[in-house]
Amino acid sequence: MKKRMVVLILTVFFCSSWVLSQTYNQLTNEQKEWLSQANRHEKAGWIYLHIEGNPEERGFQYGYLLANEINESIRILSVSWEYQSALKWSWLVQKAGEILSKKVDPENLREINGMVTGMKAANISTSQDELIALNGFMELIDYWFPSVKDSMKINSPETVKQSCSSFIATGSMTSDGGIVLGHNTHAEYFSPPCNLILDIVPEKGHHMLMQAIVGFIHSGTDFFVTDAGLVGSETTIADFFPFDKNGVPEFSRMRTATQYASSIDEWCNIMKKGNNGGYANAWLLGDVNTNEIARLELGLKYIGFEKKKDGFFTGSNVPEDLRILRFEVKRSETDIRFSSVARRVRWKTLMKEYAGRINLELAEKFEADHFDTYLNKELPDCRTLCQHCDLDEERSGPYLPFTPDGALDGKVLDSKMAKQMSFVARWGSSCGMPFNAKAFLKAHPQYDWMTGIIKDRPSQPWTTFKAGETK
């Protein structure tokens, strides 16, 4: 079986390479020149993509070099959407055009249309609205759709809006007084893949290095560093409910802020302007030039903001701002049976225990932590910082038993790495525990609808990435 899998992977790789080699001959000289400035390579489960130039150029590079992978992201998302809503993917694409497209920043729109052209040159057809539906799927599916589905009499399952574990520390909390940032992404194992390291050198604005969901012009998983010295991550505000369909899409604001902001305050101001409440997050930000850190909790009606040069902030999906907690969130902050609350308690314990010693090594350890504070023991499950809901036999808060959801990765950096535009990342899970899709579906046939979209994630090592890689 292992040999057959290797053969299949190699076959797909060589077929994709053959298709690109054939389509390359049909490109214009200008398009070939654009591609000469880009590069794509793979290591330790990650795809690394370098793109540069004006919006059309970098969009074309992205769309052409990752055409098959973007198409697969769309396929995975469309299958899961149609199963859970009983509505056609084309219906959601149309809604994306109506609700989001007109509000997207013009430069971002030009890059998206460059991706459409690049994919077309690789013989894969898509559209502006389809890529906007992909980039804004969390806003549409998790925030807008719940606000209208009752009136449509649709009985689709509620999505779980509590994910990711992150911290940022500085000053007396760290071993060298600089910033240390750690983050892992929690999501359904059938989600569009987020194993992309995106290195962007725009014609205008700052050089950016970020993890991204394949096909996103922003991040989506939200771990980034820029040549302005800014670093950032986020965790979703759990069970957040307001949404303003007349606002600016979160994905567009995040990309613009990361590309153009030169300070924490500038970044936050761009994110606040036109806020639609979609994909509501607690952002953990740092400036490695000043060793200052901040937390921006971006509700729709209320905004929480703190900034300091000594201390830490953590993220586990529980808002710290009481106005957001009481007026814009539906969950309790004290029910430790819930993942968000249990992880919040665990972060406080770790910050207290390791104060003054936090470094990259400990950051990796934190993101791979398996201590359940509700059960008071080591046990990888829904309540641990490195989440493994697929191993959880009980109903933990909103998660059903054996939900295929959990930590998909781990990323850490410190001030020294950030100044070199670099970070360390692990694909698969923060702890390195592998996931076998076929074995999971055999053991849990209630999830057999995921066949073909839920994928294996073998164990991978922590791997260093930096801006400007060529291989």
| CA 144 from centroid of its chain's CA atoms | 19
Same domain, 176 and 103: no
Confidence at 161, pLDDT banded by 50, 70, 90: low
As a whole number, mean pLDDT of residues 111-133 equals 98
Q: Is the dihedral of CA 410, 299, 156, 399 positive or negative?
A: positive
> Are 165 and 181 spatial neighbours (Cβ–Cβ below 8 Å)?
no
The number of CA neighbours under 13 Å toward the Cβ of 30 is 6
Degrees, nearest 5: CA angle 310-315-320 = 80
What is the CATH number for 445?
3.60.60.20
> Are 388 and 382 spatial neighbours (Cβ–Cβ below 8 Å)?
yes
As a whole number, mean pLDDT of residues 364-368 equals 98
pLDDT at 149: 86
Last residue of a domain, one of 113, 148, 183: 148
Same domain, 241 and 372: yes
Q: What string of DSSP letters covers 51-117? A: EEESHHHHHHHHHHHTHHHHHHHHHHHHHHHHHHH-S-HHHHHHHHHHHTGGGS-HHHHHHHHHHHH
pLDDT at 4: 45
**At 366, which amino acid appears?**
F
β partners of residue 209: 199, 225
196-202 and 46-53 strand pairing: parallel
Which of 56-60, 66-70, 120-124, 149-153 shows the lowest per-residue confidence on average (mean pLDDT)?
149-153
Same domain, 312 and 446: yes
Distance, in Å, from the CA atom of 164 to the CA atom of 232, rounded to the nearest integer, reads 13
As a whole number, mean pLDDT of residues 274-288 equals 97
Compute the residue count for the chain.
471
CA dist 173 → 120, 151, 207, 327 (Å): 50, 50, 29, 32
Judge whether residue 185 has pLDDT over 90.
Answer: yes
What is the CATH number for 82?
1.10.439
In this structure, is residue 154 part of a structural domain?
no
| CA 271 from centroid of its chain's CA atoms | 17
**At 187, which amino acid appears?**
A
Confidence at 152, pLDDT banded by 50, 70, 90: confident
Judge whether residue 287 has pLDDT over 90.
Answer: yes
Same domain, 110 and 210: no
Distance, in Å, from the CA atom of 187 to the CA atom of 267, rounded to the nearest integer, reads 26
Same domain, 331 and 366: yes
Distance, in Å, from the CA atom of 370 to the CA atom of 185, rounded to the nearest integer, reads 15
Looking at every residue in the chain, the average pLDDT score rounds to 94
Same domain, 214 and 250: yes
Place of tokens 């490695």: 288
Q: What tens digit of pLDDT does each residue of 209-250 get? A: 999 999 999 999 999 999 999 999 999 998 898 899 999 999
Confidence at 157, pLDDT banded by 50, 70, 90: low
Q: b vs e for 265-288, b when ≥16 Cβ sit within 10 Å of the residue's Cβ?
A: eebbebbeebbbbbbbbbbbbbbb
Which of 326-335, 413-422, 423-432 shows the lowest per-residue confidence on average (mean pLDDT)?
326-335
Same domain, 130 and 179: no
Confidence at 139, pLDDT banded by 50, 70, 90: very high
The rounded percent of the chain whose pLDDT value lies above 90 is 88
Same domain, 313 and 243: yes
Confidence at 41, pLDDT banded by 50, 70, 90: very high
**At 205, which amino acid appears?**
G
Confidence at 10, pLDDT banded by 50, 70, 90: very low
The count of domains in the chain is 2
Confidence at 397, pLDDT banded by 50, 70, 90: confident
Confidence at 159, pLDDT banded by 50, 70, 90: low
Report CA dihedral (175, 180, 314, 412) to the nearest 10 degrees. Answer: -130
pLDDT at 430: 98
Judge whether residue 162 has pLDDT over 70.
Answer: no
pLDDT at 215: 98
pLDDT at 384: 98
Judge whether residue 9 has pLDDT over 70.
Answer: no
Q: What's the predicted TM-score (pTM) here?
A: 0.94
Last residue of a domain, one of 104, 123, 148: 148
In this structure, is residue 158 part of a structural domain?
no
Last residue of a domain, one of 118, 148, 178: 148
pLDDT at 131: 98
In this structure, is residue 157 part of a structural domain?
no
> What crossing angle do the helices spanning 55-65 and 29-36 adopt, rounded to 10°?
80
Pair of tokens at residue 336:
């430790």
Q: Whose CA is closest to 336, among 327, 351, 348?
A: 348
Q: Which domain holds residue 85?
A: 33-148
